[in-house]
Amino acid sequence: MPATKEELKVYNRYEVVTVSPHFGQSTVGIYQTLKEAQDYRDLLFRSQDLPLFIYDTIKQERVKL
CB-count burial class (<10 Å; 0-12, 13-18, 19+) for 14: buried
Report the domain count for the chain: 1
Question: What pTM was estimated for this model as a whole?
Answer: 0.78
What are the residue ranges in the chain where pLDDT is below 50?
A: none
**In the prediction, which pLDDT does 15 show?**
94
Distance CA 20, CA 56 (A): 20
pLDDT tens-digit series, residues 19-30: 988 889 999 999
Residues of the domain holding 47 = 5-62
pLDDT at residue 24, rounded to an integer: 92
For residue 25, give the H/E element and its range: strand 24-31
